[in-house]
Amino acid sequence: MPLFYFILKDGRNTLPDRDGAELPSAAAARSHANAVARELMRNRESKTRAWRLQVCDDDLQPVLELSFAQLDDSLSHFSPEARQAIQNVCRNMGLLSDSISDVRATLEQIRATISRANELALNSPLKSNQIPRG
């Protein structure tokens, strides 16, 4: 049976399920993801509405992504338009937090590059205060 991985994105962290779950098909993975998302959001729907659960295949390639807002039964008393508006806001919050984490990752890389450059400069035989002459 193929292995699927479930990754929770709560807006701040990206939390992987490192063990994964063996499921017969992508459809079974979707219904498992549905059930897991419902269990995670139950009795705290308003706090988890912008969360997402990504399903990846064995090669860690994304198969699908569920938005908790789409599954949120506590929104069912709203009109379809209002529900859609809330889902849109949640989707945009998701996109924003993805962008923020991309920016964070880039900053991390830049920091790493700078510190590596500093290290090289320190270890180099040509110290910055020893300007080669001649």
Q: Is 68 in the site for another protein (CB under 8 A)?
A: no
Cα(33)–Cα(70) distance, integer angstroms: 13
Among 3, 28, 36, 63, which residue sits at the site for another protein (rule: CB under 8 A)? 36
Binding-site size, another protein (CB under 8 A): 19
CA dihedral 27, 43, 52, 39 (to 10 degrees): -30
Q: Is 28 in the site for another protein (CB under 8 A)?
A: no
List helix spans (H) across 24-79: 26-41, 45-48, 68-71
Q: Is 15 in the site for another protein (CB under 8 A)?
A: yes
CB of 88 to another protein, least distance (A): 25
Q: Is 43 in the site for another protein (CB under 8 A)?
A: yes
CB of 42 to another protein, least distance (A): 6
Q: Is 42 in the site for another protein (CB under 8 A)?
A: yes
- Between β-strands 52-56 and 3-9, what pairing exists: parallel, antiparallel or unpaired? antiparallel
In 3D space, the residue among 47, 55, 61, 57 whose CA is nearest the CA of residue 11 turns out to be: 47
Cα(63)–Cα(55) distance, integer angstroms: 5
CB of 33 to another protein, least distance (A): 8
Among 44, 111, 116, 127, which residue sits at the site for another protein (rule: CB under 8 A)? 44
